[in-house]
Amino acid sequence: MAYFDAASAAPLHPVARQALSASLDEGWADPGRLYREGRRARMLLDAAREAAAEAVGCRADELVFTSSGTRAVQTGIAGALAGRRRIGRHLIVSSVEHSSVLHSAERHEDDGGTVTRVGVDRTGAVDADAYGEALRADTALAVLQSANHEVGTEQPVAGVAERCRAAGVPLLVDAAQSLGWERVDGDWSVLTASAHKWGGPSGVGLLVVRKGVRFAAREAEEFGNLPAIVAAAASLRAVRAEAGREAVRLRELTGRIRTRVPELVPDVEVVGDPERRLPGVVTFSCLYVDGEALLHELDREGFSVSSGSSCTSSTLTPSHVLRAMGVLSEGNVRVSLPVGAAEEEVERFLTVLPGTVAGVREKLGAPRSPAVVREDALVVDALGRRCPIPVIELAKVIGDVPVGGRVRVLSDDEAARLDIPAWCEMRGQEYIGEEPADRGSAYVVRRAGVRHPSGPRVGARAGTRLGGRFLALRRGPS
């Protein structure tokens, strides 16, 4: 198997394994006790804290260990909001933050606070000026990830931190995805991270609160799994020592995937910023593909990847990141290469992918949904059918509509709200908008006179012929 899901959890680094094993013999006692075993454990904890602080770029007494990255985020947000409660209860987050941040924001709203969610562009990046414009006199805290967990886009943390500092507002940075590669730039106030993202053991998080930041921690005691803490700190130091060389190598491999996948597989959209991105992450979406089916087929071929498609979640809703970006969600694949990923496995992935996608598309070649002409639009009834079927049915009938004619796709699938506009942009068609319907929604598309890569050329002659048939159907028997 080729494990290509390091953004979810990186394999345990060999240094972490060694440190974990060694510290089991020395770090089992309570480091708060004064007897010999306790003092020995305390020395291990202090050494781990010093090593982690050096990697982060902070003072050792500004850093504490938590039971997870999620707990670090929750404690960091709650502590900063509580510490600045007299200033106000306004919180700023981006629309593509990790779910732990967004859930904390929802709880803040339920508790009477206010939240501004800053949008992103099509690459998944925020605008630093947009954060600046969101700042208010009652803003207690701003939160921004250093890099996105689904598409790898790096955020302008330094620019946002500068604007927050000028306004006297602390900035919390979720550095879970990037801390294993480098320090986070900018004058940030609070930072969180998770050890299993860089090859440390699961169940260890970092919370850094700079001196001078008003912070009211609800949890006074530090997490105490000392062997795991020692292993986390040791692995962070190890991965950072090799990060420069490995980042160059992985960036070349993911760049190869970004370039060749659209050449090898038709109807693919590669998402995320092509330059400002994490070294090992590349994400793309395939039209007319069920995300869950594609992941299963790739797993059979020996590749472990992840997906933000709605088909892979129990809620049947697309990834909030892909939705915020306004990109295609169906058939989504995230490849996140771990440290040491072999070039041969990447090449094998590129060899296997085209046939795998083609096989899934062939299986989804369902009969055309009932299509009728109603008033001036062709109506495709895709109610009760899940992604990617509504887009597949739209693609099947668009050629039967004259240039300038419209198609109304009826769908009650949440993913259609994102995928149909994305399909139109990819295929050069005009998305008019969403209209209410008796069930679900009607998504209206106008046929444009363009050449489709996988279809025939649309010209004046074809348009006239189809137009005559279309008008005859619309007017009824003559």
**Residue listed under structure tokens 């370039």:** 259
From CA 266, how far away is CA 272, in angstroms rounded?
Answer: 19
Catalytic residue among 58, 164, 286, 311: 311
Residue 283 CA to its chain's centroid (Å): 9
From CA 467, how far away is CA 421, in angstroms rounded?
Answer: 24
From CA 291, how far away is CA 310, in angstroms rounded?
Answer: 7
**Residue listed under structure tokens 């795991």:** 228
Nearest to 387 by CA among 366, 372, 356, 359: 366
58 counts as catalytic = no
The first and second tokens of residue 438, run together, are 């008796």
From CA 231, how far away is CA 22, in angstroms rounded?
Answer: 9
Residue 317 CA to its chain's centroid (Å): 14
Q: Spell out the SS3 assignment of 16-83.
A: HHHHHHHHHHHCCCCCCCCCHHHHHHHHHHHHHHHHHHHHHCCCHHHEEEECCHHHHHHHHHHHHHHH
Query: Edge to edge, what strands does the sheet with 441-446 contain?
Result: 371-374, 377-381, 406-411, 441-446, 430-436
Nearest to 310 by CA among 390, 253, 201, 256: 390
From CA 379, how far away is CA 383, in angstroms rounded?
Answer: 11
Q: What is the 8-class DSSP label of residue 153?
A: B
Alpha-carbon distances, residue 119 vs 19, 235, 325, 371, 425 (angstroms): 42, 35, 8, 37, 20
Residue 93 near residue 113, CB atoms below 8 Å: no
Alpha helices for 135-185 (secondary structure H): 157-167
- Residues assigned a catalytic role: 311
